[in-house]
Amino acid sequence: MSTNSFVLRRSPSKRPGIVLALALAGWLLFAEVHKAASQSAAPAEVSARSDDRAAAPLPGLETIPVLVGQGMLDQAEALARKHLDAAVLSSDEAAQGAVALASVRVTKLLRAPLDQQPVHLEAAREPLLRVLRAYPDHRRAAWLRFQQAAIDVAVAKRQAVVLTVTPGADRQRLEVLAVLIERGRDLQALEQEVAEQIAIAFEQRDRSAWIDELMALRNAIAVKRVETLLQRGELFAAGSDDALAAAAEAQQTAITAMSLVRGDPVRQAELVRMRCEALLRMGQVEQAVDVLQPLLAAAADSTADSQQPALAGKLNDPTLALAVRLAVEQNQIPLAERLLASHYGDHPTEAAAAPESDLARLRFLIAQSRGSTNDQQHQQAIGAWMEAIRQRGGDFAQRRAETIVVELLGQSLADSTDPRIVLAKAAADLRAGNAMQAAEQLRSAAHGTTDPIVAKQLAIAGAAALSRAGQQSAAAELLREISLAHQQTPEMAELHLQAAVLLDQLTRAAATDPAAVSSETETVDQLLRQTLQLWPGDPAAEQARSWLVARLLANGKPVEAAIAASPHDFSTATDQQWGTAASLWIQALAAIPLVNSDLTVDPAVERLALQALAHFPAQVPAAAAGRQRLIALFGGGEFIAAMSPSAIEENFVRWLVAVRRGEAAGVLPIAGIAPLIRQAAAARLIADGIATPSRRGALGAAIEQLAGDEPTLERAVALLWTDRWQDADVVLDRWVQDRGIADRPAATMTAALVLRHAPHRDAKHRALARLTAASAQLPLGSDTWHQSKLATLEVLSELDQQAEAVRLARYILLTRPPKDPAVQARYQSWSEP
């Protein structure tokens, strides 16, 4: 027999049935589902063929398959529903509409996520039930019942496919098996019923189209029965008695059915293929070859026979896949290659979609690798084709391919170096619950490869496996290691960031141990800083920056947050980044009181302001706005002196700089200025006034504009410095009353400390009274109480009551001497006349 023709030879030796059964695994289950989901001509596997229909289609009904083919399922459903609703339920048109609507809905069902299936299943059955309930003896009842059974079989097939790639799940397996057995019985009964109707029609010598329609229905039922039996066999362990029995029954039913459908070449071809499949499962490869032979021969010279449309051109996808598998089973690798070439040509990845043939080609590549010495090259080819399957058929096709690879490669998987094969093995291990085994393989492979993209894929899969095994810390470490090993690759920034995400999740989960949480929090922050440092221009780095800033702010570290937000690469930093950094620095600096309650200036703010300004270089134009704001609000006098208000764009900043420089500033442009900024500006002006008492009048007027009418210390200071101490006293009273009861003693003291700065004796007497009242309310002998007493001594001195101050100092040393030596020394100095 020529090897150049598509003819299978008998195998010289019989292969064990178990190998055949294994080879079958993962093939049949998806066939019909994919057909239903992908073929544009048929809306669903269960859709009624034109010759099954009761009568000629209504106008518009024939467009439903076209709409489905274009993915317009909602429109197709609406059209079918319209037809059904418009028809009288007892009519043939109603049956047509119901079948069409059920077909569209089952297509939606097959494309829906698995967890939504029950909802869609009821919707698919509904139109059929509506007609059957209204008219149980409907003229087309047999067609409707056939459609009902076909829907259940299609759903069961899809569930069976899922179960094939999901180890365990015995309960679901039994449920699907029960459905298939039940529907098999229904179909058998229905076939019998239709056969009786045909016999009656013949007896009545009815030669109308009615007999043709009944015979077409019987043929469809016969094919569906074989399909159901084959599907049932898939649910049993390959090679088991049950699986063999199901295959034998399918084979026998197929033979019977073939005798019925002699005049229907399309159904005949389907039955031949299914019989061949059954034989293959039974281990009868040679007989399978014999059965398939006529189909292949017909395909070879199909161009000469235009009466066989299904076989025209070349074999359809399931038949081609079956032929390839048989060739592989017989170890006829060159033949398998030629069969595949008829569809795939020289560019397999560009060939038309053929889900079953794609998997058959994978089997062919695996078989080809067995006889080769160049194992690595073949493994790469297998890996590349697996990737192609994923791209052509999606994740589910990839899952089936992985199952085949794991099944056929067996032990040689352990030595595989191709990352895609390693991924397949690991995925199978994961599904089987061996998460740690999968993780170790992936970790090892990720470290072993020099290809950064492949390393990234392996690391992600490895981390997922480790996470599933409860090893989040190890997962994060794997991602970190791989990203650092390929740190020149931009894509690794994302991986590095993911390590931080995993570690953060771990920290949140283990929130019961504060020490551990603190340590892990530091590590997450370090990882984020590292991402920023190593991949500064990457989008992942920006995500890391935002996250780090948010974390630091949440953990009460505003200065560190501002440092993290400050651009490192001045040339690429955007205006938004400069703006964010400036805002965070202002927030951090404003959080530290520049002026203490006793109206002394804290130098820490100016020191921190210098640190902030280092992040906003004067030579970077984009940083100018932030720098000007920082200087205006927190900068020392030397920075202000060096600024030119006319060069400042922002009105508020220009106003503030002018005030600080002692120039005519005009009215404060108050709109849109945040309270925090106004408060910081007021504090800055108070600090200036403390440093330069001669300017207090002008500064007080400016502070009054900033402070507004609310009773604040800033407003009180503004009133004091503009020579209105009584008004200031009223504001201070309101300010104290606005505090909580527990805070009022300290607030009273603060109010006194502010008031004592007024250059009036009455104001100082008032301050003395406030201090005395505060001392009476504060815990006796506390630090705050001593602070109040020392302030009292100072006020007494300012009021020229030196003797009283001496007496008070001595009295305190005698009755409540402070523990702090420094404070004690201050009392001592006051106690000496």
Partner 1 sequence: MTPMIDVVFLLLVFFLWTSSFEQPEQDLSSELALPTLPGTTGGLEQPLLSVFDEMSVRLASVAGRSTAEIRLNEQIIPDLSALAARVREIAALGAQPPVIVQPDPEVSMGEAIAVYDVIRAAGIEEVLFAVQEQ
Smaller CB distance to partner 1: residue 610 or 769?
Answer: 769
Give the range of 98-106, 475-483, 522-530, 765-773 binding partner 1 by CB under 8 A: 765-773
Smaller CB distance to partner 1: residue 682 or 773?
Answer: 773
640 half-sphere exposure, CB direction, 13 A CA radius: 22
> Least Å distance between CB 815 and partner 1?
5
Site for partner 1 contains 284 (CB under 8 A): no
Smaller CB distance to partner 1: residue 546 or 777?
Answer: 777
> Least Å distance between CB 816 and partner 1?
5
Residue 404 CB-density burial (10 A; 0-12 exposed, 13-18 middle, 19+ buried)? buried
> Residue 708 carries which side chain, given as an amino acid letter?
G
Site for partner 1 contains 138 (CB under 8 A): no
Number of residues that bind partner 1 (CB under 8 A): 28
> Least Å distance between CB 713 and partner 1?
18
Smaller CB distance to partner 1: residue 173 or 734?
Answer: 734
Site for partner 1 contains 818 (CB under 8 A): no
> Least Å distance between CB 791 and partner 1?
11
Mask for 335-374, x = binds partner 1 (CB under 8 A): ----------------------------------------
**Residue with structure tokens 């829906």?**
112
Give the range of 131-139, 475-483, 519-527, 775-783 binding partner 1 by CB under 8 A: 775-783
Spatial CA neighbour of 626 closest among 667, 671, 567: 567
Smaller CB distance to partner 1: residue 546 or 784?
Answer: 784
Site for partner 1 contains 618 (CB under 8 A): no
Q: To 10 degrees, what angle do helices 435-448 and 472-485 make?
A: 10
Q: Are 390 and 401 in contact (CB under 8 A)?
A: yes
Residue 712 CB-density burial (10 A; 0-12 exposed, 13-18 middle, 19+ buried)? buried
**Interface with partner 1 (CB under 8 A), residue from 481, 598, 650, 804:** 804
Work out whether the CA dihedral 669, 674, 678, 680 comes out positive or negative.
Answer: negative
**Residue with structure tokens 């397949």?**
424
Site for partner 1 contains 392 (CB under 8 A): no
Smaller CB distance to partner 1: residue 331 or 777?
Answer: 777
> Least Å distance between CB 657 and partner 1?
40
Site for partner 1 contains 816 (CB under 8 A): yes
**Interface with partner 1 (CB under 8 A), residue from 644, 815, 821, 833:** 815
**Interface with partner 1 (CB under 8 A), residue from 769, 798, 799, 823:** 769
> Residue 399 carries which side chain, given as an amino acid letter?
R
Task: Determine the Cα–Cα distance for residues 459 and 476; give it in Å rounded to an integer.
Answer: 10
Measured CA distances, 498 to 287, 471, 479, 495, 527 (Å): 55, 15, 7, 5, 10
Smaller CB distance to partner 1: residue 226 or 773?
Answer: 773
Mask for 717-746, x = binds partner 1 (CB under 8 A): ----------------x--x----xx-xx-
Task: Determine the Cα–Cα distance for residues 177 and 169; give it in Å rounded to an integer.
Answer: 12
Task: Determine the Cα–Cα distance for residues 77 and 101; give it in Å rounded to an integer.
Answer: 6
Site for partner 1 contains 819 (CB under 8 A): no
Task: Find the helix or strand (DSSP H, E) in which 554 lies.
Answer: helix 539-554
Smaller CB distance to partner 1: residue 534 or 799?
Answer: 799
Q: Are 450 and 485 in contact (CB under 8 A)?
A: no
**Interface with partner 1 (CB under 8 A), residue from 316, 441, 472, 792:** 792
Give the range of 141-149, 224-232, 706-714, 812-820 binding partner 1 by CB under 8 A: 812-820
Site for partner 1 contains 691 (CB under 8 A): no
Site for partner 1 contains 772 (CB under 8 A): yes
Give the range of 376-384, 547-555, 662-670, 803-811 binding partner 1 by CB under 8 A: 803-811
Dihedral Cα 464, 469, 474, 476, nearest 10 deg: 30
Spatial CA neighbour of 616 closest among 684, 565, 561, 659: 565
Please list the residues that pair with 595 across neighbouring strands.
Answer: 601
In this structure, what token pair is assigned to residue 319? Answer: 């038949």
Q: To 10 degrees, what angle do helices 492-509 and 472-485 make?
A: 160
Contacts of 390 (CB under 8 A, 6+ apart): 397, 398, 401
Task: Determine the Cα–Cα distance for residues 714 and 719; give it in Å rounded to an integer.
Answer: 9
Chain contacts with partner 1 (rule: CB under 8 A)? 733, 736, 741-742, 744-745, 748, 768-770, 772-773, 775-777, 780-781, 792, 796, 804, 807-808, 810-811, 814-817
